[in-house]
């Protein structure tokens, strides 16, 4: 009996420790739609600067928020400044990369995407036209019913 109480007490203490960690945590960077290379860069940036963080995933059904969290709220200002500096540098680098690809004629256009997957493009186009047609047809039918009454 006392062993059960002791294990129950340890479990409660463990839950309280987890609750304390989560209550002190602060979100730094949401990972929705973030490319893998950028997320890896942010992880490396935080690790290199000895900023303690953890990550949450989207979960099995994708309903949770994938993000990078700071364990210590007091490190937020420093981490935010590092992240802002990184993102400014990344923006400049990505724009320069795009401009160089555009100048050399190697940037991807809509026509290139159509050429890569023509069947997928036709399917998307057909579905779009169908949705527009059904929407318009519904509005026309409702208006005709209203005029008859």
92: domain CATH number is 3.30.70.1530
Strands of the sheet with 26-30, listed across from one edge: 26-30, 67-70, 53-56
Owner of token pair 């555009």: 102
50 and 29, same domain (yes or no): yes
pLDDT by position in tens, the chain (length 149): 566 666 656 666 555 655 555 557 899 999 998 999 999 999 999 999 999 999 998 888 878 889 999 998 899 999 999 999 999 999 999 999 999 988 888 888 888 889 999 999 999 999 999 999 999 999 999 888 877 76
59 and 72, same domain (yes or no): yes
102 and 119, same domain (yes or no): no
What is the count of structural domains for the chain?
Answer: 2
Residue 13, domain member (yes or no): no
Q: Considering the entire predicted model, what is its pTM?
A: 0.61
85 and 137, same domain (yes or no): no
Summarize the chain as % helix, strand, coil (round to 5). 70, 10, 20
């Amino acid at each position: 009996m006392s062993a059960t109480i002791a294990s129950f007490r340890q479990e409660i203490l463990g839950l309280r420790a987890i609750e304390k960690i989560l209550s002190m945590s602060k979100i730094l960077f949401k990972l929705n739609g973030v490319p893998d290379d950028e997320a890896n860069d942010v992880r490396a940036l935080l690790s290199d600067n000895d900023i303690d963080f953890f990550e949450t995933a989207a979960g099995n059904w994708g309903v949770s928020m994938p993000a990078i969290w700071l364990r210590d709220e007091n490190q937020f200002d420093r981490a935010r400044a590092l992240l802002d500096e990184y993102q400014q540098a990344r923006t400049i680098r990505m724009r320069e990369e795009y401009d160089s690809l555009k100048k050399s004629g190697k940037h991807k256009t809509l026509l290139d995407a159509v050429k890569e997957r023509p069947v997928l493009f036709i399917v998307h186009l057909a579905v779009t036209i169908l949705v527009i047609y059904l929407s318009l047809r519904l509005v026309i039918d409702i208006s005709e019913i209203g005029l008859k009454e």
